[in-house]
Structure 1
Amino acid sequence: MSSPQPQTRLPSIHRTRIKICGLTREQDVDAAVAAGADAVGFVLYAPSPRAVTPQRAAELARRLPPFVTPVLLVVNEIATNVIAACAQVPGAIVQFHGDETPDECWAATGGGARPYLRAARIPLGDGAARFDLVEYAQQHSRAQAILLDAHVEGYGGGGKAFNWSLLPPSVGSHLVLSGGLTPANVTDGILQVRPRCPTLAVDVSSGVEAEGPDGRPVKGVKDAEKIYRFVAAVRAADAQLAKNIHVDLPAT
């Protein structure tokens, strides 16, 4: 009998990390973990329909096993409140989603004592081509990664996807693709954006939420089956990239 051929595996630096955001319930945290999410997000922005208090975020985060990271999303919050929230959720990463300056992000994370993500609000339509993502990433070079979300009224992507094809061909920062992702489109998003950056992660919220009687997402309530389908679609993109890694992906 011939020896089995080794399977092609994607190097860990190229594996797409997955964050499920806007969690408010224990069962949704458990579903995200069971599906293989790398991180879960808790919204600490009170006007959001998915908002939880820092105390509630801490309760939910205690369900997480080792190596699944809690992420605290804040919007224009004062530094002392961010630091206090982080103290309640050990190991959390902060996601700045408002109008925070680089220095404000740095101060609110204790001068770099805690890693953070900085959201970039990418205009919809042709406006994406006019957003200087390279310069934005340089301004926020102390962030662990730049999260790409659609620019809509208010804060957050509103379930909208911007035009991925209009992003710069090469960005020297780790990126997190967000905004309007679903199990149906995340594979295409990864294939379009991954070649443009050293590593890529994806972040989903409304795209894996349960549907109400009107067919619209129930904000803050996740659908376990959609989470599993989303993760499967991400892994399908990774498998496709693995077959063409020597052609499609830049050296890192």
Structure 2
Amino acid sequence: MNETPGGSPELFQRKICGITSIEDAEAMGAAGADALGLNFYPKSKRFLRSEIAADVRQAIPSDVAAVGLFVNGDVVDVVSAAQRLSLDWIQLHGDEPPEYLARLRRLGAPPVLKAFRCGPDWKQEIIDFLASCAALDCSPGALLVDGFDQNSYGGTGQAADWQALADWQDWLTCEYLVLAGGLRPDNVVAAIDAVHPSAVDTASGVEIEPGRKDPSLAARFCANAQAAMGV
């Protein structure tokens, strides 16, 4: 991974989440993704089993960011996994409060990608969360905004509110926004044109079935996203 002068990895632009096998780790890197997500939430359909996690991590190309997704996990366990697997980012996809990020920072965790869902009052929730993080000196490295499903923490294929996100640079006190939620090869260009995010993230949009990726769909997704973002 390339690094910023401060030592943190540069933000990726094309993330594919829910990698569950060595084959998919290799194929998604070859398809053009510059970040791959490893899901450590046991209730997820894309949960990565601990006995193969190290092998899957090792299969991720060196120029592709490894992002570990956690949901309301024990802080010490999260940091331990991040260190053991040499994760570049920790993605928090649960209800973790600012104090949780402060503990991660004190324990020397990698940069945090904090996810939010477009539920009721989600904008104010993000604004208040970032204000609290700033007061605790633990601001996340980037934010991810996903679609909303009250019964799930993500990976549902539900689209985020593109229209409400169009002006994110005017109210979001975070430099990087990752757009997720229902993104596919056939709609990622429209999503980028509407929101102008820093990065895009997909899981179900490039799958044959949950946890099993389609290299052709992934290549189209990455190519379309790259063209739309002008990189």
Question: Shorter-chain TM-score: which interval?
Answer: 0.7 to 0.9
Aligned with residue 90 of structure 2, among 88, 91, 94: 94
CA contact (8 A) 1:96 1:105 kept: no
- Per the alignment, residue 172 of structure 1 pairs with 173
2:26 counterpart SS class: helix
Question: Does residue 231 in structure 1 map to residue 219 in structure 2?
Answer: no
Cα distance in structure 2, aligned partners of 1:96 and 1:60: 20
Task: Determine the structure 1 residue equivalent to 2:118.
Answer: 122
CA gap of 1:24–1:18, structure 2 versus 1, over 3 A, is: same
- The number of residues matched between the two structures is 211
CA distance change for structure 1 residues 138 and 114 in 2, over 3 Å: closer, same or farther? same
Distance 1:27 1:235 in 2: 23
Tell me if structure 2 keeps the 8 A contact 1:29–1:63. Answer: yes
> Are residues 1:151 and 2:152 paired?
no
- Counterpart contact for 2:12–2:34, Cα < 8 Å: no
Contact 2:118 2:147 in 1 (8 A): yes
- Displacement of 1:76: 0.5
1:27 to 20, 23, 26: 23
Q: What fraction of aligned residue pairs are identical, expressed as a percent? A: 36
Q: Based on CA coordinates, which of the two structures has the bigger radius of gyration?
A: 1
1:209 is aligned to 207
CA shift in 2, pair 1:26/1:233, >3 Å: same
Distance 2:133 2:181 in 1: 20
1: CA distance, partners of 2:47 / 2:214: 18
Deviations 1:151-196 (A, max 9, x none): 20221141100221112612332100001111111111111111xx
Letter in 2 for 1:237: A
Q: Take 2:39 and 2:106, find their aligned partners in 1: how far apart are those partners?
A: 20
**3-state DSSP class of the match of 1:90?**
coil
- CA distance in 2 between partners of 1:16 and 1:58 (Å): 21
Question: Over residues 190-223 of structure 1, what are the superposed CA-to-partner deviations in whole Å (9 max), with x where a residue is unaligned?
Answer: 11111xxxx611110000001xxxxxxx100000
Whether 2:66 is the aligned partner of 1:70: answer yes
Partners of 1:151 and 1:157 within 8 A in 2? no
Structure 1 residue 226, shift from structure 2 partner: 0.3
Structure 1 185/168 Cα, relative in aligned 2: closer, same or farther at 3 Å?
closer
Post-superposition Cα deviations, 1:10-43, rounded to whole Å, max 9, x if no partner, equal xxxxx97111100111121111111221110011
Distance in 2 separating the partners of 1:163 and 1:55: 37
2:189 equivalent to 1:187: yes
Indicate how the Cα distance of structure 1 residues 151 and 31 shifts in structure 2: closer, same or farther if over 3 A, else same. same
Q: CA RMSD in A?
A: 2.1
2:46 counterpart of 1:50: yes
SS at match of 1:62: helix
Deviations 1:37-89 (A, max 9, x none): 11100110001111013442221110122221111100000111101211221
Instruction: Report the secondary structure of 1:105's partner residue.
Output: helix
Question: Which residue identity lines up with residue 91 of structure 2 in the other structure?
Answer: Q
Q: Are the aligned partners of 2:178 and 2:199 in contact in 1 as well (CA < 8 Å)? A: yes
In 1, Cα distance between equivalents of 2:212 and 2:69: 17
SS at match of 1:41: strand
Paired residue secondary structure (1:131): helix
- Which position in structure 2 is the counterpart of 1:213? none
TM-score, normalisation: structure 1: 0.77
Aligned match of 2:3: none
